[in-house]
Chains A and B, each alone.
Chain A
Amino acid sequence: MSKPTAGIFGLTGCAGDQLVILNCEDELLDLVNLLDLRDFLMATSANDTRCSLDVAFVEGAVMSRRDEETLERIRQRSRFLVAIGACAVWGGVAAQESNGNHAALLEDVYGPLGRQYDAIPARALHELVKVDLNITGCPIEKSQILAAIANLLQGDPPLLPQYAVCAECRMRENNCLLIEKGSVCCGPLTAAGCEARCPALRIPCIGCRGPADDVNTASAWAMFEEKGYTRADVDRKLRTFAPKGGRA
């Protein structure tokens, strides 16, 4: 069987998800042997920018007309498109400006010239094109991207947790930061897959992976209220990394 052709791309973001792939030091050389990696600008200057791809991994949010064009070209040449990271899946931290003041913000950061730039409010990939798989995280977890690639190579659908960080946190037997300490911990509503990294370090979850599907929302809100937090307090935290909430 010939190796599947693949591309790894970055739109506007921090390049952290591509870096997580490069951080698979023990698996990287195997990975480049299993995939026919044709287009990966961050790692190589010999790229085929036109060939069709069996799978494309795309990180970052769409924040410019250039990003829009790039994403559309990637979609056209790819059979399977994977959004990697909170920016690609949810819009990410830069999508927080939900009150529509993009022009004012541009001017605030860049001065009067800001209004001339090719800059548009952040959008997740699914808002523009069909996305075949979302792997969330800020950044993605090594274990999940590697497992997803292994599944795809075998022709199996990748399995990603639908439950909340709380489930993993309980498994690690951490003390609950919300119940015991009264901290605003986003664990009850945030997608698992990080093995509750932050609560295990005694740091409340900041919701960097975006919302989970399978959660008891009513009970979570009741718990936040019991601890004296308003819906707005918690919402603000939750919407830092996934301002557009609710899975597409």
Chain B
Amino acid sequence: MSTTIRIDHLARVEGHGGVTVEMEGGAVRGVQFDVFEGARLLEGLVKGRSYEDISPVLSSICAICSVAHSLTSLKATENAFGVEVSPQTEALRDLLSLGESIESHALHLFFLAIPDYLNYPSAVALAADNLPAVQLGLRLKKLGNTIQETVGGRAVHPVNAVLGGFGRVPGFDQLAELRAALAGAAADCETMLEIVAGLPAASFFRAGIAFGALVSPREYGYYAGEEVTMALDGESETIPAPEYKRFTNERAVPHSHAKHSTYNGRPYMVGSLARLVVNRARLGERGLAAMKRLGLRFPPDNPTDNNKAQAVELVNDVDRALRIVESLLEHGLKDEPPVPVAPRAGAGTGITEAPRGILIHSYVYDEAGRLTAADVITPTAINAASIEDHLRRAAENAAPGEEAALTRAFEMIVRAYDPCISCSVHVVRRGHDG
């Protein structure tokens, strides 16, 4: 008997995507993570434009990752022109990306993922029975947005981060307010951990998983770093950013129109869990304690543990953001203008960690600073192959005839990856009925 399970339009994800799994008897015939977000062709549209225009346009690829797109774009252009930014700019960019991650993780955990675990269709429905949990999620989300507004000038599509630095460095009073908000969030982080620790287990299969993450050179973060570590079966390899094609290796595959990224022929996972695999030794004390408390084991063998990893990061991010703000306040903020940027012909690659994984922008400029080629590879595009692999494993592992349970499992697996489908400019869409 053949069965097709189709989830036409996934709810509670950012963007438009679906899942189709075809099964015959106990065998899985085909698995597709479909993306039917319209093609916006932004990489093509920025060709020929001046270096100053690139970051604001490419930041509009995605809202929830707009800080990551913006900073990755700046990093790529600055690498192409050999621009060195100040330590204060580095610290503020670190802080800005922590703000994005706090907002995104709080949104994803409380509004998109936790309702799954507790069998609610939405956070609004959850609020009817557990208002404090939803209010807690909103407070943490707002904290992330406050950081983005203070440092980036706006919560969605930040405007203040520019080539060479910031338009206007936040003032002492603004950062002092932020310090108070961050210090006040410690109790919320504790309650959030309790909620996540108390969620029912979600395990649809166990298997070895390959991971990839940007190496945090100092403390655990999202912005700094120029190398990516691929970890697979207890072995790892570290690859410099300009050689990113060694692990993206995008190719068209016959069963799906999505270009798939593989490393040594295997799909791999990027995002919170992957970052913990690569960078967990760089976590602060609170982050380490959270990791222990949630019982995460390494190497991880269950992709839904990505939700626990998000909770660990949320704790660590709030703590680290507070320490950055304290240090900036202690050392005094300089109202410095952005360092001057002189365009030249050349190529530059920037890699950062978006909340949902590695984000790559790679550009080529001509001598006048006009962009001649742009390559943008998003975490959801990288994760697409791994999502399909894990949907297949869940289908193979399921008891026969349990379609409803399987549909729910598929949704939970996809959502655990925190996919951002607008972002996946490289995941090529298929027709809705294709």
Contact = CB atoms under 8 A, between A and B. Distances in A.
A23 B142 CA distance: 7
Contacts of B12: 41-45
Given A118-B36, A240-B53, A201 B41 contact: no
B39 A117 contact: yes
B91 interface: no
B168 A202 contact: yes
A15 B41 contact: no
Contacts of B111: 22, 43
Contacts of B16: 10
B83 to A, nearest CB: 17
B44 A26 contact: no
Nearest to A241: B60
Contacts of A14: 60-63, 66, 422
B124 A198 contact: no
Contact of A113 (B122, B155, B428): B428
A198 B156 CA distance: 13
Contact of B39 (A19, A63, A92, A198): A63
Contacts of A25: 138-139, 141-142, 145
B11 A47 contact: yes
Nearest to A105: B44
Contact of A117 (B11, B60, B61, B428): B428
A201 B142 CA distance: 22
A61 to B, nearest CB: 8
Contacts of A202: 167-168
Given A47-B11, A64-B36, A139-B156, A110 B428 contact: yes
Nearest to B159: A198
A15 B62 CA distance: 7
A139 B63 contact: yes
Given A29-B134, A197-B159, A203-B167, A67 B38 contact: yes
Contacts of A200: 168
A103 to B, nearest CB: 11
Interface string B31-60: 000001111111111000000010011001
Interface string A67-92: 10000000000000000000000001
Given A37-B124, A198-B159, A118 B429 contact: yes
Contacts of A16: 60, 63, 66, 156-157
Interface residues of A, number: 61
A111 interface: yes
Contacts of B121: 44-46
Contacts, number: 180
Contacts of B115: 45
A108 B39 CA distance: 12
Given A13-B422, A43-B12, A44-B124, A19 B63 contact: yes
Interface string B115-137: 10000011111010001001100
Contacts of B138: 25-26, 28-29
B252 interface: yes
B9 interface: yes
Given A15-B62, A25-B142, A139 B428 contact: no
B302 interface: no
Contact of A43 (B15, B103, B124): B124
A78 B1 CA distance: 42
Nearest to B428: A110
A112 to B, nearest CB: 9
Contact of B45 (A44, A97, A138): A97
Given A61-B38, A110-B39, A111-B252, 13 more contacts: A12-B37, A14-B60, A19-B14, A23-B155, A25-B138, A44-B12, A63-B40, A67-B38, A105-B45, A118-B38, A118-B432, A139-B157, A201-B160
25 contacts: A12-B38, A12-B40, A14-B61, A15-B64, A19-B64, A20-B155, A23-B145, A25-B139, A25-B145, A26-B142, A29-B127, A37-B124, A42-B11, A43-B122, A45-B411, A64-B429, A93-B42, A94-B40, A96-B45, A106-B41, A109-B425, A114-B39, A117-B430, A139-B63, A203-B168
Q: Which 10 A-B pairs have the closest CB atoms?
A: A12-B38, A16-B63, A44-B122, A63-B38, A46-B121, A45-B11, A201-B167, A25-B142, A203-B167, A94-B40
